[in-house]
């Protein structure tokens, strides 16, 4: 750009900006972390361009729109995006420009999508026509994304196994005797809690969800308790390990604060991320059910909209392809909670040493709980003692 604008604009290396004789300014910026957008707070930009827009989170994009304004009458503020499928911003870009699904306050006439594929790049095609062969040799999902511009798949998508037609189930009345538990990933930016029910054939049904930001520990605990009917027997709540860390300001752990606010039976989740993702993939792995249709061990009720929405948004960690990225946080809290739930059901966790029963519990009752037999009968006697912990 310095070569192209030489003699027309003065470059300031410290500000990474070009200033033109009429006072107009062209500024280059970055948004590596979520908070980097705040460097632009209060600035006024008539035109904003996002290079590789799908690498920006939705919150970053939305914040930058607040800077897109002008006091001049001869310029209409506007934003330009270039993008390829994939990245943390894939879903918001796809919603606005591909699916054209708009929320209240969004005007469809404000959004225009101009597709351009490698064949439209005449300069590249003339200078390096062999590049097309490189794209054609990619694995199917990457080829569809980068050669064909298909936004239904994208590079970096972590859970490519997830399909609505396989993993989303219509709501039905869950039998009382099915084992039920909760999984919880807590953060002030997002509380993600899911209610699980285990069918006789081992399928796990996510039948209720809490996915809400800005809840402190006590508010989150009370909300989870309020959302659980009193006659619903919850075996345990497997929760993020950091809840067992003591807070400097109070000296109490998050687990203790939540317990005091009514959320009993908290179990510390195993934090083996790679093992957890592998286990979650096993739960997503499709198979042919007794009715001849494809299904999977993990089923999500159709009204658990956050889980369904954010599952496809999770991407690979850029440093470890076997790990999921922790951005966007609105999606990562969801799958972290589901990972805790899957690991709590893993056979290696089924007979962990931490499984403790109230004093006087008979060997037969312990075995009934471990094997999920006579569950309702056993818990009818034990539900008020709140001393059972561990996963099985």
CATH of the domain at 79: 3.40.50.300
Pairing of strands 190-198, 179-187: antiparallel
Contacts (Cβ under 8 Å, ≥6 apart) of 119: 125, 132
Q: Is the peptide bond before 309 cis (omega within 30 degrees of 0)?
A: no
Q: Which of 146, 172, 194 is the last residue of a domain?
A: 146
pTM score: 0.62
Instruction: Provide the number of structural domains found in the chain.
Output: 2
DSSP code for 71: S
Is the separation of the CB atoms in 118 and 124 below 8 Å? Answer: yes
Q: What is the CA radius of gyration of the chain?
A: 26
Residue 390 lies in a domain: no
β partners of residue 25: 19
Q: Are residues 178 and 249 in the same domain?
A: yes
pLDDT at 66: 95
Tell me the three-class secondary structure of 18-38, residue by residue. EECCCCCEEECCCCCCHHHHH
Q: Are residues 174 and 123 in the same domain?
A: no
DSSP, residue by residue, 276-317: HHHHHHHHH-EEE-TTSSEEESEEEETT-HHHHHHGGG-BB-
Q: Are residues 142 and 168 in the same domain?
A: no
Is the separation of the CB atoms in 149 and 117 below 8 Å? Answer: yes
CA 31/CA 293 separation, integer angstroms: 45
123: three-class secondary structure by DSSP:
helix
Q: Which of 146, 181, 214 is the last residue of a domain?
A: 146
pLDDT at 390: 36
Closest CA to 215 of 250, 247, 253, 187: 187
pLDDT at 388: 44
Residue 157 lies in a domain: no
Residues of the chain with pLDDT under 50: 348-354, 373-380, 383-392
Q: Are residues 75 and 179 in the same domain?
A: no
pLDDT at 311: 87
Q: Are residues 168 and 140 in the same domain?
A: no
The CA-based angle 120-121-127, given to 5 degrees, is 135
Contacts (Cβ under 8 Å, ≥6 apart) of 142: 155
Domain that residue 248 falls in: 164-382
């Amino acid at each position: 750009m310095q070569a192209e604008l030489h003699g027309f604009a003065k470059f300031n290396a410290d500000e990474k900006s070009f200033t033109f004789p009429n006072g107009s300014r062209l500024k280059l910026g970055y948004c590596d972390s979520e908070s980097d957008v705040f460097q632009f707070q209060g600035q006024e930009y008539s035109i904003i361009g996002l290079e590789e827009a799908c690498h920006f989170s939705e919150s970053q994009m939305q914040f930058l729109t607040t800077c897109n304004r002008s006091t001049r009458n001869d310029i209409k503020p506007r934003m330009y995006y270039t993008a390829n499928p994939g990245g943390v911003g894939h879903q918001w870009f796809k919603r606005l420009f591909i699916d054209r699904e708009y929320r209240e306050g969004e005007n469809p006439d404000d959004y225009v999508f101009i597709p351009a594929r490698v064949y439209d790049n005449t300069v590249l095609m003339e200078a390096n026509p062999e590049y097309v062969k490189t794209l054609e040799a990619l694995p199917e999902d990457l080829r569809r994304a980068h050669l064909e511009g298909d936004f239904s798949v994208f590079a970096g998508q972590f859970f490519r196994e997830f399909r609505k037609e396989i993993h989303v189930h219509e709501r039905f009345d869950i039998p009382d005797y099915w084992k039920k538990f909760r999984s919880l990933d807590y953060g002030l930016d997002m509380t993600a809690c899911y209610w699980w029910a285990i069918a006789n054939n081992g399928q796990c049904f996510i039948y209720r969800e809490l996915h809400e930001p800005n809840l402190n520990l006590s508010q989150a605990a009370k909300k989870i308790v309020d959302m659980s009917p009193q006659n619903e027997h919850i075996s345990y709540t497997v929760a993020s390990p950091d809840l067992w860390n003591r807070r400097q300001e109070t000296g109490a752990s998050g687990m203790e604060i939540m317990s005091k606010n009514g959320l009993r039976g908290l179990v510390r989740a195993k934090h083996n991320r790679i093992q957890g993702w592998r286990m979650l993939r096993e739960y997503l792995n499709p198979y042919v059910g007794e009715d001849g249709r494809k299904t999977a061990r993990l089923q999500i009720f159709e009204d658990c909209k956050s889980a369904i929405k954010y599952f496809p948004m999770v991407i690979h960690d850029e440093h470890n392809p076997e790990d999921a990225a922790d951005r966007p946080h609105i999606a990562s809290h969801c799958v972290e909670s589901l990972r805790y739930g899957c690991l709590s059901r893993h056979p290696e966790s089924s007979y962990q040493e931490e499984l403790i029963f109230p004093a006087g519990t008979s060997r037969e009752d312990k075995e009934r709980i471990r094997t999920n037999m006579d569950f309702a009968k056993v818990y009818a006697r034990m539900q008020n003692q709140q001393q059972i912990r561990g996963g099985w």
